[in-house]
Amino acid sequence: MSKHDKIRELLALAAADVLTSAEEMQVAEHVRSCIACSNELEAWRPIASGLRRLPTPQSSSWLVQATLARAEAKLAEQAEHDWNRRVMIAVVAFAWLLTIASWPVFHFVSGRFGSLLEPQFSHTQFSNTLFSNTWISFTAFTALEWLAGGVAAVMLAIRLRGERRLA
Nearer to Zn ion, 2 or 127 (CB): 2
Do 3 and 30 form a contact (C-beta atoms < 8 A)? yes
Shortest distance in whole angstroms from residue 66 CB to Zn ion: 28
Q: From CA 134, how far away is CA 81, in angstroms rounded? A: 39
Nearer to Zn ion, 38 or 133 (CB): 38
Shortest distance in whole angstroms from residue 11 CB to Zn ion: 9
Nearer to Zn ion, 10 or 37 (CB): 37
Provide the residue count of the chain: 167
Amino acid code (one letter) for 96? W
Nearer to Zn ion, 37 or 48 (CB): 37
Q: From CA 33, how far away is CA 27, in angstroms rounded? A: 10
Shortest distance in whole angstroms from residue 8 CB to Zn ion: 6
Shortest distance in whole angstroms from residue 58 CB to Zn ion: 35
Q: Which residues of the shown chain bind Zn ion in the complex (CB under 5 A)?
A: 4, 34, 37
Angle at 30 between CA 28 and CA 36, to 5 degrees: 110
Nearer to Zn ion, 34 or 92 (CB): 34
Shortest distance in whole angstroms from residue 49 CB to Zn ion: 22
